[in-house]
């Protein structure tokens, strides 16, 4: 029998970054690969007294601290991070944002508090359309600069990947401008940006009398901008676009090779979830008014339900997405900020996780799985990010707490001490390291 060679130190992979002193490491890697639904929604894959090592961008060790020396060699110039007996978990994936826009809308915030509805403001030419006017007027440089600052803030709050929708241009040139900005920002700092074409966000002023003309223009956007986006999205709602109109656009997008996402059942039960299931969408987002049949259809088709708990809060809606019922129906749930100037000027995934616990009664474990692993699948990147597993990108965050429940427990007050993106320390002592 051939003798097996004795392993030498040279056989062990060499780490360029090592994290030790982790009291609790939430790998999010329980069960089989894929989005975690049903009972797996609660499984954070916890390791106690853990260590993590990366070589370049990728993880080469995630396991018990005492087995680290036998598994990896640590280069003399490797970066070393002491987690201070804290909690480590994957970087947040904010899988639904409208990142690129100009102008805030605080005046509408006040109007809504005084009783005006979101749809009344939109029908009067405000809402989305006022952000469209401001975004059209802004230069590409200005939009890039603003969005870059937002990404820095998000990173300091633990978000390492951000989906970014267009939808505030609503002309070929302006949608192209927004998607160019999103593309430029991808990798311009320590974050990944996933661009989505949302041409069917609202009917712009110049097409108010010509719906068909606008739908043809969105077709043209899909044809022309397909290489700049990964997903196509639409606002499927009374006062926005009908399921019939959305189906047509999505078929076109799918033919062009784009994945599908949709704003579904946000303000009423408009059949969005059923449409998402029928078309094999990556995700159906909002779902505040999803029907029982809609939930069953999503579960059956394996569509991820993205819940956006800041939105009902901001629009003064009486309903939240029914997290517990979606989870028991078997729909894998993700969470996102929906960051935008109208319905969610909130850029913090930590706040979203806390609201999901407080308002939707998700367990802290389920909400954290939703904000990491399932959100990564919602942007089609589940094979690279969202869990801490050897071979995946080393995107992680460390909190100075004893237990993961302390994150949502201290609403709005927990930010990571350390953020690591693609194997590099990018936030240290809570400060962006550039
Ligand atoms: O996801 N619902 C449609 N779009 C956004 C809001 C956009 C806006 O009000 O500017 C949303 O809530
Ligand atoms: Fe949205």
Q: What domains are there in the chain, each with its CATH number?
A: 9-90+387-432 (2.30.40.10), 92-378 (3.20.20.140)
Give the DSSP letter string of 99-133.
Answer: -------HHHHHHHHTT--HHHHHHTT-THHHHHH
Expressed in angstroms and rounded, the spacing between residue 343 Cα and the centre of ligand 2 is 8
Identify the three-state secondary structure at position 294. Answer: helix
Identify the three-state secondary structure at position 422. Answer: coil
Q: Are 392 and 382 in contact (CB under 8 A)?
A: no
Expressed in angstroms and rounded, the spacing between residue 389 Cα and the centre of ligand 2 is 30
Instruction: Measure the CA–CA gap between 391 and 189, rounded to whole angstroms.
Output: 22
CB within 8 Å of 244: residues ≥ 6 apart: none
Q: Are 360 and 321 in contact (CB under 8 A)?
A: yes
Identify the three-state secondary structure at position 22. Answer: strand
Instruction: Measure the CA–CA gap between 279 and 115, rounded to whole angstroms.
Output: 37
Expressed in angstroms and rounded, the spacing between residue 340 Cα and the centre of ligand 2 is 7
Backbone angles phi, psi at 189, to 5 degrees: -145, -170
Q: Are 356 and 370 in contact (CB under 8 A)?
A: yes
Ligand minimally distant from the alpha carbon of residue 168? 1
2 has pLDDT over 80: no
Expressed in angstroms and rounded, the spacing between residue 233 Cα and the centre of ligand 2 is 9
- Residue 342 CA: nearest ligand 1 atom is 9
What is the length of the chain? Answer: 434
Average pLDDT, stretch 400-421?
Answer: 96
Average pLDDT, stretch 391-409?
Answer: 98
Q: Are 286 and 312 in contact (CB under 8 A)?
A: no
Residue with tokens 């302006």: 174
pLDDT confidence of residue 1? 46
Instruction: Measure the CA–CA gap between 353 and 316, rounded to whole angstroms.
Output: 19
Ion ligand 2, residue ranges at CB < 5 A: 338
Q: Are 153 and 347 in contact (CB under 8 A)?
A: yes
Residues with Cβ within 6 A of ligand 1?
Answer: 98, 127-128, 131, 235, 263, 266, 311, 338, 340-343
CB within 8 Å of 164: residues ≥ 6 apart: 97, 98, 99, 100, 147, 182, 185, 193, 194, 195, 196
- Indicate which residue's Cα is closest to atom 2 of ligand 1: 235
pLDDT digits (tens, 9 = 90+) for 39-92: 999 999 999 999 999 999 999 999 999 999 999 999 999 999 999 999 999 999
C-alpha to C-alpha distances, 317 to 202, 288, 313, nearest whole angstrom: 20, 9, 7
pLDDT digits (tens, 9 = 90+) for 268-291: 998 999 999 999 999 999 999 999
- Residue 118 CA: nearest ligand 1 atom is 9
In 115-225, DSSP assigns E strands to 159-165, 192-200
Indicate the pLDDT class of residue 239, thresholds 50, 70 and 90.
confident
Secondary structure letter of residue 237 according to DSSP: S
Ligand minimally distant from the alpha carbon of residue 101? 1
Expressed in angstroms and rounded, the spacing between residue 248 Cα and the centre of ligand 1 is 21
> What percent of the chain stands above pLDDT 90?
93
Using most ligand atoms within 8 A of CB, pick from 116, 168, 201, 312 the residue to mutate for ligand 1: 201
Partners of 196 in beta bridges: 165, 231
> What value does the mean pLDDT of the chain take?
95
């Amino acid at each position: 029998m051939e003798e097996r060679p004795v392993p030498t130190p040279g056989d062990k992979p060499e780490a360029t970054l090592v994290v030790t002193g982790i009291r609790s490491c939430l790998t999010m890697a329980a069960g089989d690969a894929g989005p975690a639904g049903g009972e797996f929604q609660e499984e954070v894959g916890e390791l106690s007294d853990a260590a993590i090592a990366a070589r370049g961008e990728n993880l080469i060790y995630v396991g018990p601290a005492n087995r680290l020396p036998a598994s990896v060699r640590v280069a003399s110039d490797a970066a070393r991070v002491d987690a201070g007996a804290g909690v480590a978990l994957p970087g947040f994936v904010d899988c639904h944002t409208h990142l690129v826009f100009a102008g805030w809308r605080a005046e509408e915030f006040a109007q809504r508090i005084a009783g005006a509805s979101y749809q009344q403001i939109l029908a009067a030419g405000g809402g989305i359309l006022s952000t469209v006017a401001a975004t059209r007027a802004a230069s590409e440089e200005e939009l890039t600069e603003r969005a870059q600052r937002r990404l820095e803030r998000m990173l300091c709050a633990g978000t390492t990947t951000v989906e970014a929708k267009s939808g505030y241009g609503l002309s070929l040139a302006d949608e192209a401008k927004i998607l160019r900005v999103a593309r430029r920002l991808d990798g311009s700092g320590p974050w990944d940006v996933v661009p989505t074409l949302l041409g069917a966000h609202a009917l712009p002023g110049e097409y108010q009398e010509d719906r068909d003309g606008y739908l043809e223009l969105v077709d043209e956007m899909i044809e022309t901008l397909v290489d700049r986006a990964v997903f196509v999205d639409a606002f499927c709602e009374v006062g926005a676009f009908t399921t019939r109109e959305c189906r047509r656009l999505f078929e076109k997008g799918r033919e062009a090779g784009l994945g599908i996402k949709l704003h579904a059942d946000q303000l009423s039960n408009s059949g969005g979830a059923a449409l998402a299931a029928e078309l094999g969408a990556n995700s159906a987002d909002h779902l505040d008014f999803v029907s029982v049949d809609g939930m069953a259809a999503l579960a059956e088709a394996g569509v991820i339900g993205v819940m956006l708990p800041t939105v009902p809060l901001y629009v003064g809606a009486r309903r939240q997405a029914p997290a517990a019922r979606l989870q028991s129906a078997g729909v894998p749930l993700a969470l996102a900020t929906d960051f935008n100037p109208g319905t969610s000027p909130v850029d913090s995934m930590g706040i979203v996780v806390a609201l999901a616990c407080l308002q939707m009664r998700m367990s802290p474990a389920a909400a954290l799985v939703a904000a990491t692993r399932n959100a990564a699948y919602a942007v089609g990147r589940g094979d690279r990010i969202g869990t801490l597993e050897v071979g995946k990108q080393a995107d992680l965050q460390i909190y100075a707490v004893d237990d993961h429940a302390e994150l949502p427990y201290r609403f709005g007050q927990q930010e990571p001490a350390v953020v690591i993106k693609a194997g590099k320390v990018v936030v240290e002592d809570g400060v962006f390291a550039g």
